[in-house]
Structure 1
């Protein structure tokens, strides 16, 4: 890839291959004793309309993500259209899915925002505040699930479940505290940034290092000023929090529609929400692109309590496609379009 969002690098293809191997390797191993004839029979009875509804909800999830990005970006000096925000969101979704801990999404989004005329400092603060809101609403949703749906997450057959829930909840809370510290404390932000830059001084001339350090300090000042300004915009934070909350709960509901599509109607809606919320918390902690392996394991662990094996494997495959592989498919499309536009600009110039 000549630049972020232009062409897929070889290491990205390797990551994608790792994802496929782990995901399908787990499915094949875990369901190795499955009755394939019965699975094929269930496959023929699928109600496609329910699966399409689940895919539609995933599209709404992306749209709400882009709407939050648009609202936050438009509070800066450089306005960003909703369509641009959708493009940036989908490119971010693509890189989130193929990098460990979803670490590639925000740098890719920042690159695209800078291309649209937003400074690095302002763009970084927008993405950081957006991520803080997302994490905060995820933890808030987890609290709701633990308060009102804890009985669904208790099982004598899975004694380690409560421990996993607490670990996931605790680590996500720690992430929020760290991000807020970076956004609110100039000292913390400068310390982290300079600590990252310091090793570079051993490989470049002192004059160049000092110039980079000066530029970094300027960007950090812009970043901190914008982060502080946005943190006091209570109306903006409230609107974005509500949109993010709706976004998350729609996402949590997707397995419900997949299960309905497989002909299982007598399923508790809130139980599905509780299961999926925990799966999202747990899989985000797995240091493999897309949480591969961890996502499939936690899904089969929880939904295996209420679904027959033949239904479970089909549900797992369709759920993974809608919530994960669709991000790669649609994200790569937006990535291709962005790359094509940049190549045209380069040719003209």
Structure 2
């Protein structure tokens, strides 16, 4: 049984990697087809390498911002966790989010890592639920503010891709509403999901309807306690939200730093970061690893007149390369480190239990 479960896990990882490679290849083709690569190399040579330092700092702020959230939240519930472990939780989470569709693989792997250092699954799930809600909420609020106020400078650049922005907003709102219902009104979700299962079963019978219902029950049950936590930790939730705003915006700043690094000036800070934020709104819930393909092509359309038609491709390569591909590489390396650290921690705990 254990072996079959392990085989399934390995197969899923291989499928995710294969899917990632295919999407990456299609992304390269869609972005570079018909482009003058020699000219691209020349424009990349104009990039001021000193801007790599603040850009990488922003990437690390994005990753480790979540670590700070983990640390203060675990501390609030009386669990002492090493700062190193919190950092590794974040690296693991962002790595698996980056290689799985709709960023679906991050939290299960974080929960597994937390289990290895002795954090109860019930508490880990509550913490991750709060992180997810605030993480998505920041994007939804940004999107809502832009779409309600409709600043002319921003809307002019977004106009060609507005259908993607609306789609992304809709998907994010549906996800947050569903998650809030699971947290605050789990009974409604269970009854609705049960009705959906029974309806589907009439037209296409499940092999085991009861097993499907139990999966839904387990999904809802794992968020038990989250509503109480949110209700009794209002100030903490506010802190988490503010950290998440800084965390999210740090990654958007990479685009502005890229703009400045090509000697295009230091203006357009709010415009470039807001536009990059709206790209995130559009792609965050798409069933593509890291929004790959869509993010790159949206950048080329939205930032064409800001970077200029000659430099926009080079700008995209650097900005996206730092904010996603370099981030993925850093998190991949640290995930390997985490596997050894957490394996060692798990062995220590087992020794302690059996002694």
Aligning the two structures, in what range does the TM-score lie when normalised by the shorter sequence? 0.7 to 0.9
- TM-score, length of structure 1 as denominator length: 0.83
Structure 2 residue runs of 5 or longer lacking an equivalent are: none
Give distance in 2, aligned partners of 1:329 and 1:5: 22
Contact 1:6 1:338 (C-alpha < 8 Å) held by counterparts: no
Give distance in 2, aligned partners of 1:299 and 1:24: 14
- The offset of 1:152, in angstroms, is 2.2
Contact 2:92 2:106 (C-alpha < 8 Å) held by counterparts: yes
Give distance in 2, aligned partners of 1:103 and 1:192: 22
> Tell me, what secondary structure is at the counterpart of 1:9?
helix
**Does residue 67 of structure 1 match 2:68?**
yes
- The offset of 1:183, in angstroms, is 0.8
- The offset of 1:161, in angstroms, is 3.5
Contact 1:256 1:272 (C-alpha < 8 Å) held by counterparts: yes
Contact 2:113 2:342 (C-alpha < 8 Å) held by counterparts: no
- CA-to-aligned-CA distance 1:186-240 (integer Å, 9 cap, x gap): 31454588799999x9469x9xx7xx95x99689556312442233311111110
Task: Tell me what 1:319 maps to.
Answer: 319
Structure 1 residues 247 and 338, CA gap change in structure 2 (3 angstroms): closer
**Does residue 122 of structure 1 match 2:123?**
yes
Structure 1 residues 219 and 46, CA gap change in structure 2 (3 angstroms): closer
Give distance in 1, aligned partners of 2:343 and 2:224: 34
Task: Tell me what 2:286 maps to.
Answer: 286
After TM superposition, the runs of 4+ consecutive aligned structure 1 residues lying more than 4 A away are 1-8, 146-149, 157-160, 189-199, 201-204, 215-222, 342-349
Give distance in 1, aligned partners of 2:249 and 2:86: 21
> Tell me, what secondary structure is at the counterpart of 1:118?
coil
Contact 1:121 1:220 (C-alpha < 8 Å) held by counterparts: no
Contact 1:121 1:221 (C-alpha < 8 Å) held by counterparts: no
Task: Tell me what 2:295 maps to.
Answer: 295
Greater alpha carbon shift after TM alignment, 86-95 vs 312-321: 312-321
Task: Tell me what 1:12 maps to.
Answer: 16
Contact 1:283 1:295 (C-alpha < 8 Å) held by counterparts: yes
Task: Tell me what 1:173 maps to.
Answer: 173
> Tell me, what secondary structure is at the counterpart of 2:334?
helix
Structure 1 residues 233 and 197, CA gap change in structure 2 (3 angstroms): farther
Greater alpha carbon shift after TM alignment, 161-170 vs 134-143: 161-170
Contact 2:95 2:331 (C-alpha < 8 Å) held by counterparts: yes
- The offset of 1:72, in angstroms, is 2.1
Structure 1 residue runs of 5 or longer lacking an equivalent are: none
**Does residue 245 of structure 1 match 2:249?**
no
- CA-to-aligned-CA distance 1:281-339 (integer Å, 9 cap, x gap): 11224322121111111111100122233311111111122111123212211221232
Q: What is the count of residue pairs matched by the alignment?
A: 340
Structure 1 residues 111 and 190, CA gap change in structure 2 (3 angstroms): farther
> Tell me, what secondary structure is at the counterpart of 1:111?
helix
Contact 1:55 1:322 (C-alpha < 8 Å) held by counterparts: yes
- The offset of 1:147, in angstroms, is 5.6
> Tell me, what secondary structure is at the counterpart of 1:80?
coil
- The offset of 1:65, in angstroms, is 1.4
Task: Tell me what 2:307 maps to.
Answer: 307
Task: Tell me what 1:151 maps to.
Answer: 152
Task: Tell me what 1:111 maps to.
Answer: 112
> Tell me, what secondary structure is at the counterpart of 1:309?
coil
